[in-house]
A and B are shown apart, each in its own frame.
Chain A
Amino acid sequence: MKIHIKNGRLIDPAGGIDAQKDVFIAAGRIVAVGSAPEGFAANRIIDATGLVVCPGLVDLSARLREPGFEYKATLESEMAAAAGGGVTSLACPPDTDPPLDEPGLVEMLKHRARHPGFAHVYPVGALTIGLAGARLTEMAELHEAGCIAFGQAHAPIVDTQVLQRALQYAATFNFPVWLQAQDPFLGKDGVAHDGEVATRLGLPGIPASAETIAIATILQLARDTGVRIHLTRISSAASLEMIIAARLSGIAATCDVSINHLHLSDADIAYFNPHAHLVPPLRAGSDREALRRGLAEGAINALCSDHTPVDDDAKQVPFGEAEPGATGLELLLPLTLKWAGEMQLPLGTALARITCDAARVLGIPAGTLAVGAAADVCLFDPHGSFEVTRESLKSQGKNTPYLGLTLPGRVRCTLIDGHVAFEGGR
Chain B
Amino acid sequence: MRNPQLTKNGELQHLLTIDGLPREILTAILDTAAPFTEVAEREVKKLPLLRGKSVFNLFFENSTRTRTTFEIAAKRLSADVINLNINTSSTSKGETLLDTVDNLSAMQADMFVVRHAASGAPFLIAQHLAAMGLEHIHVINAGDGRHAHPTQGLLDMYTIRHYKRNFNDLVVAIVGDVLHSRVARSQIHALTTLGVPEVRVIGPKTLLPSEVEKLGVRVFHDMREGLKDVDVVMMLRLQNERMKGALLPSPQEFFKSYGLTADKLQCAKPDAIVMHPGPMNRGVEIDSAVADGPHAVILPQVTFGIAVRMAVMSMLAGA
Contacts and interface: CB of A to CB of B under 8 A. Distances in A.
Nearest to A316: B98
Nearest to A197: B211
A241 interface: no
Contacts of A141: none
B114 to A, nearest CB: 11
A194 interface: yes
How many chain A residues sit at the interface, stated as a range, is 20 to 34
A203 interface: yes
A158 interface: no
Nearest to B127: A271
Interface in A225-282: 270-272, 274
Interface string A187-229: 0000000111011111111010000000000000000000000
B1 A203 contact: no
A200 B19 contact: yes
A245 to B, nearest CB: 25
A322 to B, nearest CB: 9
A38 interface: no
A317 B211 contact: no
Most chain A C-beta atoms within 10 Å of own C-beta, residue among B96, B127, B182, B210: B210
A390 to B, nearest CB: 12
A159 interface: no
A318 B1 contact: no
Interface in B91-107: 96-98
B124 A317 contact: yes
Most chain A C-beta atoms within 10 Å of own C-beta, residue among B120, B127, B182: B120
Given A316-B96, A316-B98, A198 B209 contact: yes
Contact of B145 (A194, A202, A316): A202
B42 interface: no
A423 interface: no
Contact of B119 (A194, A316, A319): A319
B282 interface: no
Contact of A318 (B3, B116, B210): B116
Given A198-B209, A202-B147, A317-B97, A270 B1 contact: yes
A233 to B, nearest CB: 22
Nearest to A321: B118
A202 B182 contact: yes
Interface in B114-137: 116, 118-121, 123-124, 127-128
Nearest to B125: A318
Nearest to B179: A199
Given A202-B144, A202-B185, A316 B211 contact: no
A313 interface: yes
Interface in A164-206: 194-196, 198-205
Nearest to A194: B210
Given A201-B147, A203-B119, A207-B210, A316 B215 contact: no
Given A199-B209, A200-B19, A270-B1, A319 B118 contact: yes
A319 B209 CA distance: 19
A195 B121 CA distance: 21
A207 B144 CA distance: 22
- Closest 10 pairs between A and B when the two form their complex, measured CB to CB: A202-B146, A202-B147, A272-B120, A318-B118, A199-B209, A202-B119, A196-B214, A196-B211, A318-B121, A319-B120
Given A194-B210, A196-B211, A202-B147, 10 more contacts: A200-B215, A203-B120, A271-B123, A272-B120, A317-B96, A317-B124, A318-B118, A318-B124, A318-B144, A318-B145
26 contacts: A194-B210, A195-B211, A196-B211, A196-B215, A198-B210, A202-B146, A202-B147, A203-B119, A207-B210, A271-B3, A272-B119, A272-B120, A272-B123, A272-B124, A313-B96, A316-B124, A316-B128, A317-B96, A318-B97, A318-B116, A318-B120, A318-B121, A318-B144, A318-B145, A320-B120, A320-B145
